Structure 1
Amino acid sequence: MRYLIRRLGFFVLTLWAAMTLNFFIPRMMPGSPEQALRERFSKGGSVVSPEQLRTVLAEFGFDPDKNILLQYVEYLKAMVTGHWGVSVGSSLGVPVTSLIGDALPWTLGLVGISTVLAFVLGTLIGTIAGWRRGGLIDGIVPPVFIVTSALPYFWVALLLISLFAIGNNPLLPNDFNYEQGLTPGFNGEFILSVLKHGILPAGTILITAVGGWILTMRNNMIATLAEDYVRMARAKGIPNRRIMFGYAGRNAFLPNLSGFAMSLGFVISGTILVEYVFNYPGLGYMFYNATVSTDYPLLQALFLLVTLAVLICVLLCDFAVFLLDPRARTKG
């Protein structure tokens, strides 16, 4: 119980610190919502006075006339109660919750599935490579994927686009999340279009993410295989497959849980460069647009979601390790 209370207290304290940074960092960025709105209105040929701009901003939940401390208190209240305001950026006047609700499923479907798949494949390949250290798999696969994991997201994305989506007979689409003109729905044509549009961005994430999991799992396996309990299992004549997965693999897997929890948490933000290159309408692309248009309400809500996702995933990971590893229960 003390361990649970301590972890929950750390969760609350970290969340408060992150929310505080979330309030002040956007206000330190160049520009302001007032300046962004003035530029947007001027492009449309409209002329508005500073008083009118301030009135519009106040209606959107941002009132620069209020004391910064009062703004901070109202911000904390709004974040906790879910009243995240409306966009003052490119989607002027649209509720932030509506914007996030539209983009969140696409990011979870693309980045979430790709991240989990990269972790599963990387863990499996790393387990086999560590078990057969010096073999063919260990000599070829980890070095190749370690190199690919060091490549920039946008470079891999552009390479895949040039290989599969450019030419007289492109194999795969490289733009948006489904064919324009289709009506979204649970039908074969729409689902097939979504899957086709997700292959290249998902492949980009897989190529750049799987190598890290392979390397960490391989190193964990090599360290675990030197433990006395593994030698004892071999001396008892236990089958190699059971030793690899039930003894060495299980214990080598535990240190990877924290990293996996962090990566799952950051799924909520999407892979910004990947979504931007492929014009994929997820949260990562929304992050970019909100930053460019100085959309404080949307930026604050997105940062809050990322913070919550990371903290919750790390907290669940701590509890999972606590349940799976007797040594953690003893230390706890």
Structure 2
Amino acid sequence: MTAESTPALVHSAEADGPDTAGPSAGRGPRARNTKAYLRYAAGKIVGAAVSLFAVLVTSFFLFRLIPSDPVKHMTGGRPVSSEQLENLRREFGLDQPMWQQFLDYIGDALSGDFGMSYQFHAPVMDKITAALPATLLLTGTAFLLFTALGLFLGTRTAWRHGSRSDRFNSALALTLYSVPSFWLGLLLIIVFSVGIGPIPGLFPTGGLESGGETGFAYVIDVAHHMILPVITLVAVGYAQTLLVMRSSLLDEMGSDYLTTARAKGLRDDVVRRRHAVPNAMLPTFTLMFVNLGHVVAGQILVETVFSWPGLGGLFYEALAGPDLPLVQALFFLFAAAVILANTLADVLYPLLDPRVGR
């Protein structure tokens, strides 16, 4: 085994053996590998489509178990006659039998129409479109930061396992990974927004902007509001990435190919960067795509704690109704983002590890 080849990244052509005689001689192994990959990818895509439809069905029935009358919630507690309540039910199709409501919901959803919001009296997709940029800004920024930080620290701690820095970083990551994100967010608000003891309130308690700012001042204002929620998301997210990366790299460090690489005289940082880390990245690669799916879903509790005007906060408001069309659409969107991200990871995984999908 050479230092340039590793167990996870070795090309699969050698395992296929020599080609048999025939018209496809000379390209048989590659053709077979391509067909196997296409079958594997097609199976994953079909599985994702089935999962999406199952989520669509589940989203209809799940939130109808909530013990609340959405029509009465729409009246805001004002006294209304039974005739007015019946007119509202007829307007939103709630007077139809459950099976008819279900068929209408599936048909409209498959065409991209999730109906009108009970609470906001606006198309559901308009509300989602308006809130999506705020969620992508917050969770997207946090995703990039905690992924980079988790990969860097996970690699360093594993390569120096047993050291003081390894023990400190591992203990801190385990602690942060166990802390509920909403509790950490509340703690940061108390300490750094409200102020406690000698620490003054430095950051806003919530929201996306203060209002009235334009141009570069607006960018600074939004960044100022993002600091605490981003810190909350990064603190929890980086801990998970660090722990997975550290565990994966520790599993690789005793492998024979690393011993061979060192025996050839390669420097320790080259062995780590070129050989150990690429193989240890495989489990972390899946985790990264799972977290990428959560970028769209956001962190419902974190957005609620910081009054962030994104999809997470919108979902919390919709649940209070319940605003059935909005809740159903957001639930489907959150689940779809995770399913699609996982499917993309599954489809790309064989490109990093040819043994997968064969």
State if a TM-score over 0.5 links the two structures: yes
Aligned equivalents of 2:313 and 2:149: distance in 1?
A: 27
Q: In structure 2, what is the Cα distance between the partners aligned to 1:153 and 1:205?
A: 7
Does 2:287 match 1:259?
yes
Cα distance change of structure 1 residues 73 and 327 upon mapping to structure 2, 3 Å threshold: same
Larger radius of gyration: 2
2:209 to 174, 178, 195: 178
Q: CA deviation at 1:261?
A: 1.6
Local SS of the residue matching 1:148: helix
Amino acid corresponding to residue 48 of structure 1 in structure 2 = V
The one-letter code matched in structure 2 to 1:176 is G
Tell me the distance in 2 between the aligned counterparts of 1:57 and 1:202. 41
Distance (whole Å) between structure 2 residues aligned to residue 319 and residue 246 of structure 1: 24
Given that residues 165 and 173 in structure 1 are in contact (C-alpha distance below 8 angstroms), is that contact kept between their aligned partners in structure 2? yes
The whole-number CA distance in structure 2 between the counterparts of 1:235 and 1:67 is 74
Give the Cα–Cα distance (whole angstroms) in 2 for the partners of residues 78 and 160 of structure 1.
Answer: 43
1:262-304 per-position Cα deviation (integer Å, ceiling 9, x unaligned): 2221222221221111111111111110001100010011011
1:238-271 deviation per Cα after TM superposition (whole angstroms, max 9, x unaligned): 2222221221111111112222222221222221
Asked if the contact 2:48–2:343 (Cα under 8 Å) also holds between the matched residues in 1, the reply is: yes
SS of equivalent residue, structure 1 residue 327: coil
Contact 1:119 1:213 in 2 (8 A): yes
CA distance in 2, matches of 1:229, 1:177: 50
1:52 aligns with 2:84: yes
1:139 matched to 2:167? The reply is: yes
**Matched letter for residue 108 of structure 2:** A
Letter in 2 for 1:5: A
Identity %: 34
- Structure with greater contact order relative to length (CA < 8 Å, sep ≥ 6): 2
The answer as to 2:98 corresponding to 1:63 is no
- Separation in structure 2 between the aligned mates of residue 273 and residue 327 of structure 1, nearest angstrom: 39
The superposition leaves residues 193-221 of structure 1 with CA deviations (integer Å, 9 ceiling, x where unpaired) of 00000000101111122111111111110
Q: Which residue of 2 aligns with 1:88?
A: 118
CA shift digits 1:81-139 (9 cap, x unpaired): 111111102x2x11211111111111111012202321221111111111111123212
* Aligned match of 1:22: 59
Gaps of 5+ in 2: 1-37
Structure 2 residue identity aligned to 1:216: V
Does 204-213 or 159-168 show the bigger shift? 159-168
- Between 230-239 and 121-130, report the one with greater CA deviation: 230-239
Distance (whole Å) between structure 1 residues aligned to residue 200 and residue 250 of structure 2: 47
State how far apart, in whole Å, the 2-side matches of 1:228 and 1:205 are.
38
> Using the alignment, how far apart are the partners of 1:246 and 1:24 within structure 2?
50
Distance 1:309 1:315 in 2: 10
| Partner amino acid, structure 2, of 1:3 | Y
How far apart are 1:58 and its partner, in Å?
Answer: 4.0
> In structure 2, what is the equivalent of residue 6 of structure 1?
43
How far does residue 51 in structure 1 lie from its aligned partner after superposition?
3.7
Contact in 1 for aligned 2:303/2:312 (Cα 8 Å): yes
**Structure 2 CA distance for aligned equivalents of residues 85 and 193 of structure 1:** 35
- Partner AA of 2:118 in structure 1: V
What stretches of structure 1 of length at least 5 have no aligned partner?
Answer: none
Question: What residue identity is the alignment partner of 2:205?
Answer: N
> Does residue 236 of structure 2 align to residue 208 of structure 1?
yes
Q: Given that residues 174 and 239 in structure 2 are in contact (C-alpha distance below 8 angstroms), is that contact kept between their aligned partners in structure 1? A: yes
